[in-house]
Structure 1
Amino acid sequence: MAPPAGKWVKLKPMDKPLRKGWTTGACAAAAAKAAWTALATGDFPDPVDIVLPRGETPSFPLARHDRGEGWARAAVVKDAGDDPDVTHGAIIEVTVARGNPGSGLVFRAGEGVGTVTLPGLPLSVGEAAINPGPRAQIEANLRAVSGGGPLDLTITVAIPGGELLAAGTMNGRLGILGGLSILGTTGVVIPYSCAAWINAIHRGVDVARATGLSHVAGCTGKTSEAEVRRLHGLDERAMIDMGGFVGALLKYLRGHPLPRLTLGGGFAKMAKLAAGASDLHSKATPVDPAWLIGLAAELGAEGDLLARLERESSAARILELAGNELPLAATVAARARESALAVLAGDVAVDVAVFDRSGRLIGHAG
């Protein structure tokens, strides 16, 4: 119910933990098990129970089911818990069809599930974008039904509307075309862990390496990304949407280096990196005005200017007051570059570009 007009409502702190959810891989395993059970016995289990790699045994109600000669289909609705997952509420549908003797398990992409078109991913080019973890979960739960018998089956996974949902993911840049990926190593979605985003950052580096790119760019948002592409003339495949996860990108590049990296972002986020932060999201790392004011003092701010800076609490306002008197943005870029190089241990050449809110380059180092 909405509060009465003109009344302030004091929000209570959360008194219970965030609810976990289930990955697309776990949902696909549940739908596959339900379909295979119906194909083997004539009856669909509803709900259907599965076992996940860490021993969890979630139960999934079926959203719909159908069968015919030699095939059965079942679908479940993905529940991502309290995680803001793009696939929350999506239908995960699996068709299980009998294959030729000795064919084993064959995985195919149905409607809304992508196909791999570039090397560097843990799947071969031309394969359905059903990751190894979910494939293993599906197989384990099918074997529980078959009792150890042969599994000569074609497994087709579909997500109706998935191609439209995939437009909001990094799949296109990774060369996964036609829809979403079926993901999940453990089967469990931990709210706000952002594991899928970090995984996409890692896969972006893998694809860049496999396709021979020598220069990639990690940017914090669309404005900085567009300007970095313009600055360096980079192909879209070289662009990695790192958001605030600069630490995840740098640590992965340390073990999987490329010759060159550009980091691009707004002044406030790059100031956090310059101060040594590895997670630039506002909830994880707020801007430290005292650090910025100290940097301004190092650059020569004194007297009235320093007094005015000390009254400010926002990075944008500190930058505005510094104006043309101090090379604050350029120094933030240089310090951010030093922070990045310290993580990379010298294996990657780095430049850092800092932009204002309009997209104007105001600081560049390296």
Structure 2
Amino acid sequence: MTIEELKKSGSIIFESISGSRAYGLDTATSDTDIRGVFILPKEQFYSLNYIGQINNETNDISYYELNKFIELLSKNNPNLIELLNEPKSCILYQHPIFEKIKKEDFLSKLCKNTFANYAFTQIKKARGLNKKIVNPVDKERKSVEDFCYVRGEKQSVLFKEFAIKNKLNLNSCGLVNLAHMKDCYNLFYNENLNYNGIARKNANEVCLSSVPKTEIPIAVLYFNVDGYSTYCKKYREYWNWVEKRNEERYKSNISHSKNYDAKNMMHTFRLLHMAKEIGLNNEINVRRKDREFLLSIKNAEFEYNDLVSKAEKIKNELDEIYKNSSLIDRPNFKNINKLIYKIRNQFYNNMV
């Protein structure tokens, strides 16, 4: 089922703008995220064609089937529990039946860990993304030959350097497996024989040749297979990231040169502050009153280590806050199951 088909089906019971625009942290270049909840048609729900979630290609738009939505709410998932208190200006549609899902039945002391753990995942992402920013991978892909080495007099020498120094024609090189020595080969050279070279174009392994027994190797060649595999993975990940990255966000990150992704760090503190508010006041404050502070983080006005220290301090405060909180320890699954049944049954009966 596509999003277009879902909208035509009449199955949506809640739809809201979410993310930065709901938090009040959006800028002129911010995307518009949409999250919603739907109830599968009765025939499909009772068949083998259950669908738990429907997204668009960029995951900016996501709809969750009632069962999956309630399941994630019961785990106090930060991204979904905030849908229970979205600003009214952000709500695009709300079926009356959605009002039966109340935050009091789901907000629990689980939020301490779900929000804090998610927050510290953002810290890791803030530095993880930076590795790609400050360590770009050249667009021209390295070849197998770039990971081949020849033993010199006292040290290994890159094969390409060896070939240049000895004025070798690469097409006149031939390799033969060297017994009992993993990834090592006897290197032969003869311009009058039809050797296959070191590796074919775009190949991922060396190329062996048929060599007469009378030929004498000129060196032993080693192919660093692990190094080549690691490089290929890094190359693929980097250029996939380049293809999918948000250019405005990327330009912002490289402009401040603070060695971290400022947007990830902003969301770290949004999550920690929300966790603190939930523990103290039993409230989900989606629209942020700490907007100026959060935007100052997004603008990279702090050093990374200072932000990590601030985050650690808040995380430690959460232990005492939740210890004394009036929140339930965890949602009551017996009551939640009754709620799901009641909502689904009522929705299907009204569809008849």
Q: Which TM-score band applies after superposition, normalised by the shorter structure?
A: under 0.3
- Could you say which structure has the greater relative contact order, defined with CA pairs below 8 angstroms and 6 or more residues apart? 2
Structure (1 or 2) with the larger CA radius of gyration? 2
Give the TM-score normalised by the residue count of structure 1: 0.22
